[in-house]
Amino acid sequence: MGKLKREDLWSLEDYAQRRPQFRAEVMAHKKSRQVRLGEHATLYFEDETTMRYQVQEMLRAERIFEADGIQEELDAYNPLIPDGSNWKATFMVEYDDVEERKQALAKLIGIEGKVWMRVDGFDKVYPIADEDLERETEEKTSSVHFMRFELTPQMVAAVKEGAAIAAGIDHSAYQATLDPLPENIRSSLAQDLT
């Protein structure tokens, strides 16, 4: 999957006209890229489409139209586009109640290393998490983590041939498994691999 370049983006004026249709397309696309793990955790798998939307929205919100500013946004979001041998995801721990969230994040230290993906017939793959910066303290974890799941060539081939995919969390304070992923999600994730 290629990285976004300036010429892949619409100008602010063009985006303003295209935004309602593009937003609807992206929201539909995202539905096949979300994996709910239990009641309070979700993996949101990123790709070129989700990152194009994110960049366009940032440019719009910040009124960025100069080349350097556009490049800064591309540099920030391009690392979240899969490279062909991996899946990249935003992992969110989600509690509506502020106090409940605070207590949960204190119990969930290290959860980012306990999330996993598994291609049928292979071992679990745990993520390389938060490569951009440390998101955890001694008192609590963050409610948002960025993850990269690196696959072997054999795993990639198996997924391309239709192998089932499972996901889960093996943390002492939070366990969840989705096995197998629904076919629409499996198929969408297979497209990230080359």
**Which helix H or strand E contains 144, and what residues bound it?**
strand 144-150
Q: How many CB atoms lie within 10 A of CB 167?
A: 26
| Among 132, 130, 125, 39, residue whose Cα is nearest residue 87 | 125
- Average pLDDT value for the chain: 96
Using 50, 70 and 90 to split pLDDT, how confident is the model at 134?
low
Q: What is the mean pLDDT of residues 95-118?
A: 97
On the question of pLDDT at 135 being above 80, the answer is no
Span of 11-25, 49-63, 124-138 with lowest mean pLDDT = 124-138
- Rounded to the nearest angstrom, the gap between the alpha carbon of residue 158 and the centroid of all alpha carbons in its chain is 21
User: What pLDDT is stored for residue 37 in this prediction?
Assistant: 98
Using 50, 70 and 90 to split pLDDT, how confident is the model at 45?
very high
- Angle in degrees, CA 117, 119, 125, rounded to 5: 40
